[in-house]
Chain A
Amino acid sequence: MMTKSILADGVLIQRYVEGSQIAFETLMKRHKQRIFSSILNVVNDRYIAEDIFQETFIKVIHQIRAGKYNHEDKFLPWALRIARNLAIDSIRQRKRLPSVVNSEGYDIFETLMVFDKSQEDIQIENDEKSMLTKLIHQLPIEQKEVLILRNYADLSFKEIAAITDTNINTCIGRMHYAIMNLRKMMEKNSVRVK
C-alpha cells in the first residue's frame, strides 16, 4: 500500500530557503487555521486578524531569509509567538484611541459596545455556546491567551510559557483563574452550557 509522506516543518523551511516557494505555501497552509483562529480569538475582529495573519507570515519569511529561524524550535510555537506579539501590539494601539468617560467613570463606547452585543445575543443568536465564546472575550488578555493557545493552537503549557515569557505554573494558574472568572460571569449572565 502506498503511503503519503508528510514533510516535517523543518524540511519545508529548508526547501524554502533553497528556493522552493511551494514548500513555504505548504507550510503556511498546514498551520493557517490554528494561527488565524488564535489571532482572531485574541483580537476579536476579523479584519484586524487578517492583517495580523499577513503581517505574521511576512515577518516569518523575513526572519527565515535572514537566517533567524532556529531549526531546533518547533515552527508553530515560533510563528505563534510572532503572531501573539503583533496581536498584543494591535490591542495596545486600539486601547490608545480616545475614550469618552461618563460621570460614573465608564467609557461610553465600551458600555455601548457591551449593550449592543447583549441585544444582538438576545435577538439573533440565543446560542449558549456562542454566549460562552463572548464571555471568553471579556477575560483578561493573559487568561484569554492561555485558553486560546492551549485549546486552538494545541500548545503544551511549557510551550505557552515560552511564548508568553512566564513559567508553566503561571500558565496553568491563569487557566484556573479563567475558569473561575467564567463561572462567575456565566452565573451573572445566567448562561448555562450543557
Chain B
Amino acid sequence: MNINITETDIISYFYNESSPEVTDYIQVNISSRQDWQELIKDLQTLRSSMDNFQNPHPTSLNIVLEEISLQENHSL
C-alpha cells in the first residue's frame, strides 16, 4: 500500500495524532526519508527549547484567592 504522506501527516505523527495506518506507514518508511527525519528533528528541537515551564508569582495566586473570599462574602 502506498500512502501519500505530507508534512502535515509527519507533524500529526510526531504528536501521536495520526491514524494507525499513517503511523505504521511512516514507521516503516522513515529510515529512507531524510526530509521526514529532518522535520521530526526540528519538531524535537522546538519542543526541547520549550521545556522551561514557569510559575506565576505567589502574589498572583493570593490575589485570586482573595477574590474567592470576596465572592464568598458577597454571597453570604
Interface residues in chain A, defined as those with a beta carbon under 8 Å from any beta carbon in chain B: 19, 21, 24-25, 28-29, 32-34, 36-37, 40-41, 49-50, 53-54, 57-58, 61-62, 65, 129, 132-133, 136, 147-148, 150-152, 156-157, 169, 172-173, 175-176, 179, 182-183, 193
Contacts and interface: CB of A to CB of B under 8 A. Distances in A.
B20 interface: no
B15 A54 contact: no
Q: Which secondary structure dominates chain A's binding surface?
A: helix
B39 A150 contact: no
B14 to A, nearest CB: 9
Nearest to B39: A179
A54 B63 contact: yes
Interface of B: 7-8, 11-12, 15, 17, 39, 42-43, 45-50, 52-57, 59-61, 63-65, 67-69, 71-72, 75
Contacts of B48: 129
A61 B64 contact: yes
Shortest beta-carbon contacts, A-B, top 4: A57-B64, A36-B56, A151-B50, A132-B49
B45 A157 contact: no
A57 B64 CA distance: 6
